[in-house]
């Protein structure tokens, strides 16, 4: 009897620790944002890399199962590309100031590489798993992580000049829908790779809209 129950118990223990780690992440990420920023320009990214790495270790060999890509994901990425392009152009038509220099190499690196990969690993893997475990239903994790993803973009409104508050609100709205789209592939296929692909295509479309 113990031979059959112990693996599940061990994994539950890992998820309990994982959940605690996720809570610590959320507290530091949103309650101590300015303190984290004082540690360096890239401190928050390093913090997230460490969290994702620990989560990957806790997931063990199952972590690799989250990196599968299917044809529907490739098809949906085209729609995501078009959506990103449209979002940028709509902002221009509405007179919403885009506070990014999309011609800068560093900005492009974060837009096209760091954000799609790291944000998806954080919201669609690191935070998703303990929320699904605690809520017992994948749809709860889908909704909650999408709201968290959207709020992570709204959160900066407390630390930026008022001139770009309109963009922050605009970004909060479209990232909610982006989060739901990315989360769909975790909900349906358990594919973080699909979420990364959709996010990358959206950001690429956003960049192309600026040209």
**25 domain residue, yes or no:** no
Could you tell me if residue 8 is inside a domain?
A: no
> Residue 168 falls within a domain, yes or no?
yes
Q: What is the pTM of this model?
A: 0.90
Residue 88 belongs to some domain of the structure: yes
Domains in the chain: how many in total? Answer: 1
C-alpha span between 175 and 152 (Å, rounded): 9
The answer to whether residue 124 is domain-embedded is yes
Round to whole Å and give the CA distance between 33 and 190: 30
Indicate the helix (H) or strand (E) that contains 201.
Answer: helix 192-209
The predicted-structure confidence for 22-66, as pLDDT tens digits, reads as follows: 999 999 999 998 888 888 888 889 999 999 999 999 888 888 888
Instruction: Tally Cβ neighbours within 10 Å of residue 87.
Output: 20
Distances (CA, A) of 19 to 4, 61, 117, 127, 195: 24, 19, 21, 8, 21
Instruction: Establish if 96 belongs to a structural domain.
Output: yes
Secondary structure (3-state) at 159: coil
In which domain, by residue range, is 156 found? 62-209
Give dist(CA 144, CA 150) in Å, integer.
Answer: 10
83 close to 76: Cβ distance less than 8 angstroms: no
The mean pLDDT of the chain is 89
Is 166 within the bounds of a domain?
yes
CA 184 to chain centre: 13
Average the pLDDT over 131-155 and give the result: 93
pLDDT of residue 171: 96
Question: From CA 154, how far away is CA 167, in angstroms rounded?
Answer: 10
Q: What is the pLDDT of residues 59-98, one digit of tens each?
A: 888 888 888 888 888 999 999 999 999 999 999 999 998 8
Residue 6 lies in a domain: no
């Amino acid at each position: 009897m113990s031979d059959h129950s112990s693996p599940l118990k061990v994994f539950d223990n890992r998820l309990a620790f994982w959940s605690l780690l996720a809570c610590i992440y959320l507290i530091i990420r949103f309650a101590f944002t300015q303190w984290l920023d004082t540690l360096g320009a890239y401190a928050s990214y390093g913090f997230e890399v460490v969290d994702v790495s620990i989560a990957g270790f806790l997931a063990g060999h199952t972590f690799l199962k989250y990196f599968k890509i299917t044809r529907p994901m490739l098809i949906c990425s085209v729609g995501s590309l078009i959506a990103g392009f449209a979002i940028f152009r709509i902002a221009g038509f509405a007179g919403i100031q885009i506070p990014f220099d999309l011609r800068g190499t560093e900005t492009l690196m974060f837009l096209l590489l760091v954000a799609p990969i790291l944000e998806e690993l954080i919201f669609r893997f690191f935070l998703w798993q303990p929320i699904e475990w605690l809520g017992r239903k994948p749809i709860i994790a889908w909704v909650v992580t999408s709201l968290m993803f959207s709020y992570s973009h709204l959160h900066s409104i407390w630390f930026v000049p008022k001139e770009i508050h309109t963009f922050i609100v605009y970004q909060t709205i479209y990232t909610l829908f982006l989060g739901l789209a990315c989360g769909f592939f975790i909900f349906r296929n358990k594919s973080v790779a699909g979420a990364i692909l959709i996010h990358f295509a959206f950001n690429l479309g956003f960049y192309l809209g600026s040209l």
